[in-house]
């Protein structure tokens, strides 16, 4: 199965939600009147694309291109075209650019979004591209998190820097950077504890990790990735807002698209925050995290 076919399969619930919402709202022989346009706009909002995106697509449909009418296939094509236009500027693969090495990637996000498995999948992709990788178990609040990352590091075949439960996360990140520099490692990926948006102390510690890293390498972290669980829908937008203000998020990774009908939130996130979307995940396997492609996503979610 090709990646596009896997993506279509993984997004099937989101696709069904959008397709069902749009069903019956187009006519190949009649112009789109205000009532139909209102219904299409509401359908797009219901599919988690968000009000701003829905309004933008509506404005496209009001143009002279569709004044003679549009059928259902044409409506899907028009929606897919505009989704592609919105997403294309933000579909950017994660690149290793730092010199001197290592390229430091800080991975943040709330509990349960899949940070640890995302780190493992990223490490796998980097090693396959012939980069040397080191991991750091910066989630020192939970012994289970350290143990889980150790298992993944062994599976991928990369070294792990870890400490005891309760150790200072910023100090561990600093030590990991020292070791990565000494070893000439290309990429250092640092896990962090799952931060709850209303826990200001934990968020302050995340800011501290950034400050400590910069003492050793002024440009670090070179990327701060926010991992989002697509099943949270519009709540993902509030997570972006909080983490962007505290952790200076530079890009997004969206997981669990195969378990939700809310995949449209990716479009809402891109339109509102203008952050790169580096990768999306549609399963638990090591090959189920791939670089984000705007046109493929638009094709899949509209069911074209």
Q: Please check if 114 is assigned to a binding site.
A: yes
Q: Please check if 257 is assigned to a binding site.
A: yes
- Region 81-104: mean pLDDT is 96
Q: In Å, how far are 40, 55, 137, 177, 264 from 119, measured between CA atoms?
A: 39, 36, 10, 16, 24
Same domain, 51 and 180: no
State which residues form the domain around 266.
103-302
Query: Is there a domain that residue 96 lies in?
Result: no
pLDDT for the residue 178 = 98
pLDDT for the residue 22 = 82
Q: What CATH number does the domain containing 223 carry?
A: 3.40.50.300
Q: Please check if 242 is assigned to a binding site.
A: no
Q: Please check if 193 is assigned to a binding site.
A: yes
Q: Please check if 194 is assigned to a binding site.
A: yes
pLDDT in tens, 160-182: 999 988 899 999 999 999 999 99
Q: Please check if 85 is assigned to a binding site.
A: no
Same domain, 83 and 40: yes
Q: What CATH number does the domain containing 76 carry?
A: 1.20.120.140
Band the pLDDT of 195: cuts 50, 70, 90.
Answer: low
Cα–Cα distance for residue pair 75/194, rounded to 1 Å: 40
Same domain, 185 and 291: yes
Q: Please check if 192 is assigned to a binding site.
A: yes
H/E run at residue 38: helix 34-46
Q: What is the value of pTM for the model shown? A: 0.93
CB 280 within 8 Å of CB 248: no
Q: Please check if 256 is assigned to a binding site.
A: yes
Same domain, 196 and 267: yes
Band the pLDDT of 30: cuts 50, 70, 90.
Answer: low
Band the pLDDT of 41: cuts 50, 70, 90.
Answer: very high
Query: Is there a domain that residue 97 lies in?
Result: no
Query: Is there a domain that residue 129 lies in?
Result: yes
Q: Please check if 29 is assigned to a binding site.
A: no
Q: Please check if 163 is assigned to a binding site.
A: no
Q: Which of 20, 54, 89 is the last residue of a domain?
A: 89
Q: Which of 25, 55, 89 is the last residue of a domain?
A: 89
Same domain, 120 and 13: no
Query: Is there a domain that residue 95 lies in?
Result: no
The total of structural domains in the chain comes to 2
Q: Please check if 113 is assigned to a binding site.
A: yes
DSSP string, 99-129: SSSPEEEEEE--TTS-HHHHHHHHHHHHHHT
Same domain, 197 and 120: yes
């Amino acid at each position: 199965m090709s990646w596009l076919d896997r993506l279509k399969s993984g997004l099937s619930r989101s696709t069904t939600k959008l397709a069902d919402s749009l069903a019956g709202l187009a006519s190949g022989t009649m112009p789109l009147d205000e009532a139909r346009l209102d219904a299409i706009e509401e359908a797009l909002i219901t599919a988690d694309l968000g009000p701003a995106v829905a309004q933008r697509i509506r404005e496209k449909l009001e143009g002279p291109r569709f004044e003679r009418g549009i059928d259902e296939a044409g409506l899907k094509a028009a929606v897919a075209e505009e989704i592609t236009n919105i997403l294309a500027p933000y579909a950017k693969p994660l690149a290793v650019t730092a010199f001197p090495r290592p390229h430091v990637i800080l991975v943040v996000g709330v509990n349960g979004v899949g940070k640890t498995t995302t780190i493992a999948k990223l490490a796998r992709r980097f090693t396959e591209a012939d980069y040397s990788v080191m991991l750091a178990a910066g989630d020192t609040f939970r012994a289970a998190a350290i143990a889980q990352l150790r298992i993944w590091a062994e599976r991928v075949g990369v070294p792990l820097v870890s400490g005891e439960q309760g150790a200072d996360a910023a100090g561990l990140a600093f030590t990991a950077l020292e070791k990565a520099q000494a070893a000439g490692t290309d990429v250092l990926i640092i896990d962090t504890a799952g931060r709850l948006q209303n826990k200001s102390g934990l968020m302050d510690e995340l800011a501290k990790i950034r400050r400590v890293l910069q003492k050793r390498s002024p440009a670090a972290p070179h990327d701060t990735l926010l991992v989002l669980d697509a099943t949270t829908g519009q709540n993902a937008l509030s997570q972006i807002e909080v983490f962007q203000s505290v952790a200076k998020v530079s890009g997004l990774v969206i997981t669990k698209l195969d378990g939700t009908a809310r995949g449209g939130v990716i479009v809402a996130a891109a339109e509102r925050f203008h952050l790169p979307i580096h990768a999306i995940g549609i399963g638990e396997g090591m090959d189920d995290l791939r670089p984000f492609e705007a046109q493929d996503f638009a094709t899949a979610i509209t069911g074209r």
